[in-house]
Structure 1
Amino acid sequence: MLALITEAIWETLKLFKQKDKINYDRIGATLVGILICIAAKVDMFSILGEPLSIKYLGPILTGILISRGSNFIHDLLGSVSSMYQKNKP
């Protein structure tokens, strides 16, 4: 699960620069996502039962992920849910 989320975060950060140009819209969306998650105390890692030891890292990483939009989050959570179902005894 953590590998899947890590890859999703990295792929999102790579969108900041495309074709040797800085994508200011992507950076702006990411900053807004981070601000909202910090203000609302939304932490996907805690929700999934994997709280992080660094206080604001969970909301920051969650903000990066939600900046991709609802379809992306829906697909990501579907993948995480599927992983949990396969690992259930």
Structure 2
Amino acid sequence: MSLLRFLIAALIVEALWETTKMFWQDGKFSYDRLGALAFGELVAIGSNIDLMNAVGLPINVPYIGMILTGVIISRGSNFMHDFLDSINNFQKRSRGK
């Protein structure tokens, strides 16, 4: 496995953890985050979108990639743009060396 794949995996894990932490804000549960997550999952699974596979990190367990993708896309378009830009920068730097 290349160093690039480790870096992308670390970026994905951080994004997943930061998203999960948003469910509990100011001492109470965020139903808005739950709603966003539900829609993210619905879109990812319903459309068969798997970000992990798209960035070269295929997951061997069926549906796990789509579930993780749903969590990430529940953050919205600005986050996804920044997230994909970070992955793209990692890939460009890796190719340049």
TM-score (norm 2): 0.88
Q: Distance in 1 between matches of 2:40 and 2:32?
A: 12
Name the SS of the counterpart of 2:49 in structure 1: coil
Number of aligned residue pairs: give it. 89
Q: Distance in 2 between matches of 1:58 and 1:16?
A: 21
Matches within 5 A, 1:9-88: 9-88=16-95
Match of 2:5 in 1: none
User: 1:65 offset after TM fit, Å?
Assistant: 0.6
Opposite residue 57 of structure 1, the aligned amino acid is I
Q: Distance in 1 between matches of 2:83 and 2:23?
A: 20
TM-score (norm 1): 0.96
- Identity fraction in percent: 45
Q: Which runs of 4+ in 1 moved over 4 A?
A: none
User: 1:32 offset after TM fit, Å?
Assistant: 1.1
